[in-house]
């Protein structure tokens, strides 16, 4: 059984009744579900996930005033729930995983992942929040939320970045993919710098997977789940397989071929979404085109990239050299 399904069963079988019997006045003012840190909150948990921080558990989110006045009492009810369900022992807080389940303060919970009690609103605030934190704040499921306040924040965050922020991030990912994968990887291999080549490939892979999430308007999770999370995304549905093949490719020409294939796919999707008018697979060439789509000057249109130098470098280097990188 998956952790999310187990959490819902634990709540609906024993949790809801216990809360209604012991804190009935608070039940209409609490949100209940499972979200936050942990593979089960993303639906990625498997048999290997069960060796720590896994088992029947759920979150009870209270508004700040209710939490300050009644949080300890609600937590006591939660702690009194049966120690297992369907043969699975209830989750126990580990040394590094306390405060993930049980009674929680809703504003503090959002502040933990976004720095703000209701998440970012301004462009500057959006830019400061790590993408994986936004993925964590919007994953999982909400089982009950009569007030709707907790869910309202969650739904607003789930609508994804403001478009100008998304474009700025797409530009950054395209630049890293071009620099690390299309330029530095092959040059490092030619020089026999295999460690540098592996580091370049890692940079390309992380930026490339993040690019796929941005094109799907989804937040990329913590790095160890980034590839797993590509499964089922509607835009670039072959991305999971493309990056799997990249990870298994032989160093050198085969890896370069995989890199170019991914970049060609990404360039086509950028054009399909109206973010660029260019068609070439060299992603650096698309950065200035994308920057032109940014409407709010507060997001910043300045850039240090010089596409004319890049075009000249391409003529010098068959592997799409970048003029401002040595």
Which tens digits make up the pLDDT trace of 29-52?
Answer: 999 999 998 888 888 866 665 555
Report which of residues 323 and 296 the model is more confident about. 296
Res 96: pLDDT: 53
Looking at the structure, tell me whether residues 186 and 123 fall in a common domain: no
> Could you please report the per-residue DSSP string of 62-95?
E-HHHHHHHHHHHHHHHHTS-SEETTEEPP---T
Considering 103, 130, 158, which residue would you say is the last residue of a domain?
158
Res 40: pLDDT: 87
Buried b (16+ CB within 10 A) or exposed e, 210-220: bbbbbbbbbbb
- Per residue in 109-163, pLDDT (tens digit) is 999 999 999 999 999 999 999 999 999 999 999 999 999 999 999 999 999 999 9
- Per residue in 306-322, pLDDT (tens digit) is 433 343 344 334 333 33
Domain that residue 169 falls in: 163-316
DSSP one-letter code for 167:
H
Looking at the structure, tell me whether residues 209 and 275 fall in a common domain: yes
pTM for this model (two decimals)? 0.87
Looking at the structure, tell me whether residues 173 and 243 fall in a common domain: yes
* Residue 324 within any structural domain of the chain: no
How many structural domains are present in the chain?
Answer: 2
Looking at the structure, tell me whether residues 221 and 253 fall in a common domain: yes
In this structure, of 49-63, 66-80, 148-162, 201-215, the range with the lowest mean pLDDT score is: 49-63
Considering 127, 158, 189, which residue would you say is the last residue of a domain?
158
Helices and strands (H and E) in the chain: how many: 16, 6
* Residue 322 within any structural domain of the chain: no
Considering 99, 133, 158, which residue would you say is the last residue of a domain?
158
Strand positions, DSSP E, the chain: 30-34, 59-62, 84-85, 88-89, 102-105, 141-144
Looking at the structure, tell me whether residues 11 and 82 fall in a common domain: yes
Report which of residues 94 and 196 the model is more confident about. 196
Looking at the structure, tell me whether residues 187 and 296 fall in a common domain: yes
Q: Look at residues 192, 196, 313, 203 and name the one whose alpha carbon lies nearest to residue 259.
A: 203
Looking at the structure, tell me whether residues 87 and 185 fall in a common domain: no
Asked whether the predicted pLDDT for residue 323 surpasses 50, the reply is no
Mean pLDDT, rounded, of the chain: 88
Rounded to an integer, what distance in angstroms lies between the CA atom of residue 295 and that of residue 17? 52
């Amino acid at each position: 059984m998956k952790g999310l399904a187990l959490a819902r069963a634990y709540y609906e079988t024993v949790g809801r009744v216990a809360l209604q019997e012991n804190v009935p006045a608070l039940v209409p003012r609490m949100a209940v579900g499972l979200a936050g840190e942990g593979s089960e909150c993303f639906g990625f948990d498997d048999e290997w996930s069960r060796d720590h921080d896994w088992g029947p558990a759920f979150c009870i989110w209270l508004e700040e005033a209710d939490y300050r006045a009644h949080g300890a009492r609600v937590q006591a009810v939660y702690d009194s729930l049966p120690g297992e369900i369907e043969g699975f022992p209830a989750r126990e807080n580990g040394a590094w995983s306390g405060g993930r389940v049980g009674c929680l303060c809703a504003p503090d919970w959002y502040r933990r992942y976004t720095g703000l009690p209701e998440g970012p609103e301004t462009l500057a605030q959006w830019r400061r929040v790590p993408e994986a934190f936004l993925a964590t704040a919007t994953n999982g499921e909400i089982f009950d939320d009569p007030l709707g306040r907790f869910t309202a924040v969650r739904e607003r965050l789930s609508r994804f970045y403001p478009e100008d922020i998304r474009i700025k991030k797409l530009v950054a990912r395209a630049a890293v993919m071009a620099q690390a994968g299309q330029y530095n990887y092959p040059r490092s291999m030619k020089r026999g710098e295999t460690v540098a080549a592996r580091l370049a490939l890692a940079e390309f892979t992380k930026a490339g997977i993040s690019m796929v999430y941005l094109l799907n308007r989804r937040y990329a999770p913590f790095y160890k789940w980034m590839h797993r999370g590509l499964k089922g995304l509607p835009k670039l549905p072959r991305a999971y397989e493309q990056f799997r093949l990249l990870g298994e490719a032989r160093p050198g020409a085969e890896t370069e071929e995989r890199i170019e294939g991914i970049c060609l796919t990404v360039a086509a999707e950028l054009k399909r979404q109206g973010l660029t008018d260019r068609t070439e697979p060299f992603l650096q060439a698309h950065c200035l085109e994308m920057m032109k789509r940014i409407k709010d000057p507060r997001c910043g249109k300045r850039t240090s990239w010089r596409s004319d130098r890049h075009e000249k470098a391409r003529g010098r280097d068959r592997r799409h050299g970048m003029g401002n990188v040595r």
